[in-house]
Every structure is written in structure tokens, then in C-alpha cells.
Amino acid sequence: MSSEISDDPIETPASEEARERAFYGRRKGKALRLGQATAIAELLPRLAVDLSRPPIEPRALFEVPVDDVWMESGFGGGEHLIETATANPSIGFVGAEPFVNGMAKALVALHEAGLEHRIRLHHADSVPLLDALAPASLGRFYLLYPDPWPKKRHWKRRFVQRDNLDRIARVLRPGGEFRFASDWAPYVDWALAEVLAHPAFEWTARVADDWRKPWAGWPGTRYEEKAIREGRTPAYLIFRRI
């Protein structure tokens, strides 16, 4: 595998029927370092989730018994994924990330943390992974600082849409949680409205600090640091699967 990574944009689909297969954004960025390229070539195949035989029972993906499985969609460089896995040694984690550089960074970090036995990865958009998982098989789903697509003509590209909420609801067991964080206030409002309109979820907030302050155990992310540095206020929403 060449370490030369192009920065070409991904073409958008020609029709709404292609929505489920669409990924909007970059998949590739700057050239990978040797260790990152090696991780993509050698470690990723060992940790990749095989989607060819659904439905997939997530607990069966791991080398060790786990009490539950949590998933993160679009984990970037894996900071939250790895720190949360380290802090929860009885939990298995599944992460989806289409961006090559983010996946490479996460692979190196999880190897250094010794977490190969409790993390499995999907190097693409999370929709096919969600569709392949068995019903009611996850205890938690994270969507942290997703692209807000601020222009109105791009709102249909936002991940929080009814079809994806249906997917999340299907894989979460009753009492499971959908955790969402963003520093883009219009997208926070959008997500809140979309999820509250879905019959499978309820918002757990009772006072303002429930969404103004990070949930317990939040390790922070580089996106959050950038948002605060630039004067934006993040919001942290927890929705429970009814």
C-alpha cells in the first residue's frame, strides 16, 4: 500500500436513492507516516468487522468476554474511543471512520494502549455497519462533533436524520443510550428536534447542566478544544432508547 494519499473530494450521489451508500466529505488527506501505513496494511485487516454475514452479534467479535458493546460513529483520530475503552475494561468497542488519516492514527494509538482485544473497526461510513449489526445488540452509540453541514442545501447530508435514527434505534437495546456532542448550535437544535420527534427515544436532561456540561467520564476531544478556543460552546445530549 502506498503512503501517498490524495486529497480528492468524494463525489456526491446522483440521486436520493443513493443516500444510504453515500459518504459526504474527505476520505484521504496528507501522506501517512511509515508506522501509520503499516498499521493500515497489517493491523486494520485483523481488527476490521466482516459485514458479509449479517446479522452480526457484536460480543462475538472480541477475543475476550465483554459485558456490553458500545459503538462510536466517525471517531476521528480515536482519542475518545481509546480513552473510553481504557476507562471501561469490561466493555467492547466498535468504531467506524472513513477518513484514512484518522483511522491510521487510531490504529497506532490503540496498539500502543494494548486494546486490540477489545476494539473492532469499520473503515467506511457507519451506515453499512449499523445495518449489519443484530437488533438490540448495543448498549451505547456515540456521535461526537459530526460535520454540521451549515449550508441549508447540505442539511440532507447531516447524519442525524430519521433513517439513521431508525438504524440507531434498531441496534440499541431498551435503556441503551445515544450520546451526541456538537459545538454548532444550529445542529444541536436540529439534532434535538429530530431525535425528540422519533418515538424510540427520550431526552434524559432534567436541568440545563445536563446538556451544558460533559457527561461523567468525558475525556474531551481535539474538536472540543478547538471549539472552546474559538469561542463556541459545546452541548452534550444523551437520549435513552425507550
Question: Please, are residues 241 and 175 in contact by the beta-carbon 8 Å criterion?
Answer: yes
Question: Please, are residues 43 and 104 in contact by the beta-carbon 8 Å criterion?
Answer: no
Rg (CA), the chain: 17
User: Strands 68-73 and 138-144, how do they pair?
Assistant: parallel
Whole-angstrom distance, CA of residue 26 vs CA of residue 55: 29
- Smallest Cα–Cα separation from 73: which of 185, 175, 171? 171
Catalytic residue among 68, 131, 147, 210: 147
Angle, in degrees to the nearest 10, between helices 100-112 and 79-87 = 30
Where does residue 157 rank: exposed (0-12), middle (13-18), buried (19+ CB within 10 A)? middle
What is the full DSSP assignment across 133-158? BPTT-EEEEEEES-----SGGGGGG-
147 has catalytic annotation: yes
**Which residues carry out catalysis?**
147
